[in-house]
Amino acid sequence: MAFTDVLAEYGCSEVAPVDFYRDIFPDGSIERRGEFRTGEFIGNPIGVFQTERKGEEFKFHQIILNDLEGLKELQQSSFSILSGLTYFGRRNVLEHASKMYAMIFDIDGVTDKGLARFIYGTRCDFNIYPAPQYIVLSGSGIHLYYLFEEPIPLYPNIKLQLKELKYALTRKIWNMYVSDIKEPQYQGINQGFRVVGGKTKKGDIVRAFRCSEKKITLSYLNEFVQEQYRIDETKLFPDTTMSLIEAAAAYPEWYQKRVIDGEPKGRWHVSRRLYEWWKRQILSGATYHHRYYCIMLLAIIARKCSYYDKKHNPNPVTYEELEKDAYELQEYLNGIKPDEPFTKSDVKAALECFDSNFIDMTRKECERVTAITIPAQKRNYQKQEWHLEDMRTKKVNMKRRGQAFKKPEGRPSKGLSVYEWRQQHPEGRKADCNKDTGLDPKTIRKWWEYTPPTVRHISPNVRQEIDEFGRSHIIVTQPKLLFEYNRRLDERENNFDDDN
């Protein structure tokens, strides 16, 4: 049985390409050719097609569906793709994405039985799969089009969440009952797909079939994934109706700085030490279901640490360095579960997040998607400079009044106390340590085998000194090792800044 027979059996009717795309991008939602709406930012869908004159080189072409000329040009090409997004300008990159009108899935290796099982799964009492509005036949696979009642404005905070939701839905739909291919193939939210009315790899015409008249919402898609992948629609930024002229009147300072003077958005200067720390966290804490998100966050952090500052970040992270590190980590991440490999295409998709739009991602969101704990800096709910100023002022005032400053160098590690006692009593027992130090027996058992990191690395070349407060200090005995010692101390600074 052919695909068309299965679709006909379930009442799916073929639609013309023009009607198909006008259903996705309703009349008035995009500009007409030559039209300019003063004070408004209107995004347009952008198609990509391959020209015969330049071989394999791709050329960008702006599609204005209301006059249909651009669509015809795409259909005549041997290879052309179009996404369900609109973009500002003439580049179909995620950074310039404006709104999502449709979420599209490409499922390869589908047989007629697999297609029948999928459609039945969208209509049975159990609602196994979300029901698409259109199924497009593109050769050996199918494209599933989920059209939204209202387009989703693609602010930076929602792009990452939509990508996470789409990946979760891909895992839901792509299974042994629908596809003969075992491993799902993931695409980003701005991935383009073969144009309806255009050509498949074999030269056949790409055809679209309507399966449902009713468009969907994010809440509907949320029902088919686990809670951690759902998007809370109540927390999305509403689509503004304010024009640029109205915004200039309402926010004159912003308009002067950002629009007239062209000042870039302010950024924090984050040290590359954060980037190096996250690489170590991946090697020690990455898990099977979160491999992609670990590399994704590596790309986001690399972008945070890519801004040069003479004092705070004199050696910024470059994209070339990120790409090299990511592919080196791919071998390790693949080894976590070799029977379900972590591929280079997964790394490539994650590297798309080397984007300034993602650097405001919060610490809690990072923890949620990577399943790795990221400790917050403790500043008594203040900015760093204010917290440090308070601490220094308090210390000066206590000294002036002749008061002893409690633990002036910070609370000593109990592990270090146990370690120091064992150094002085090589043959000592835990009970003896308890009598001498007064530490809890559980604490002693916990830290009995503890060795300070600095001692563990270069113990043959250091000595310990006890200061007037009873604190132990590591003293480097060979000057030539001082540089290496300082580097390793820097590596221990693993706090993730909430403000960054």
Specify whether 207 is located in the same domain as 328: no
Identify the domain boundary among 314, 336, 370: 370
Residue 408 lies in a domain: no
Q: Find where tokens 């990159």 sit.
A: 93
Residue 385 lies in a domain: no
Residue 400 lies in a domain: no
Specify whether 193 is located in the same domain as 89: yes
Specify whether 169 is located in the same domain as 64: yes
Q: Structurally, how many domains does the chain consist of?
A: 3
Q: What is the pLDDT of residue 381?
A: 61
Q: How many CA atoms lie within 13 A of 240 on its CB side?
A: 12
Specify whether 299 is located in the same domain as 172: no
Calculate ∠ Cα 84-87-91, nearest 5°: 110
Specify whether 85 is located in the same domain as 220: yes
The backbone torsions φ and ψ at residue 34, rounded to the nearest 5 degrees and listed phi first, read 85, -5
Residue 200 lies in a domain: yes
Residue 304 lies in a domain: yes
Tell me the whole-structure pTM to 2 decimals: 0.57
Regions in the chain scoring below 50 on pLDDT = 39, 53, 55-57, 454-483, 485, 489, 492-500
Identify the domain boundary among 348, 370, 392: 370
What would the DSSP string read from start to end of 284-318?
HH--GGGHHHHHHHHHHHHHHTTS-BTTTBSSPPP
Q: How many CA atoms lie within 13 A of 201 on its CB side?
A: 4
Specify whether 423 is located in the same domain as 363: no
Residue 171 lies in a domain: yes
Element (H, E) at 249: helix 244-250
Residue 405 lies in a domain: no
Q: At what angle do helices 363-370 and 156-173 cross, to 10 degrees?
A: 10
> Are the C-beta atoms of residues 255 and 298 closer than 8 Å to each other?
no
Specify whether 365 is located in the same domain as 286: yes
How does pLDDT run across 251-261, given as a tens digit for each residue?
Answer: 888 888 887 88
Q: What is the pLDDT of residue 424?
A: 86
- How would you class 123 by CB atoms within 10 Å of its CB: exposed for 0-12, middle for 13-18, buried for 19 or more? middle
Q: What is the pLDDT of residue 237?
A: 60
Specify whether 208 is located in the same domain as 281: no
Specify whether 222 is located in the same domain as 308: no
Residue 499 lies in a domain: no
- Segments forming the whole domain that contains residue 87: 3-231
Estimate to the nearest angstrom the gap between the alpha carbon of 413 and the chain centroid.
36
How does pLDDT run across 385-439, given as a tens digit for each residue?
Answer: 777 777 778 777 776 666 655 555 555 568 778 888 888 888 889 989 988 888 8
Q: What is the pLDDT of residue 482?
A: 46
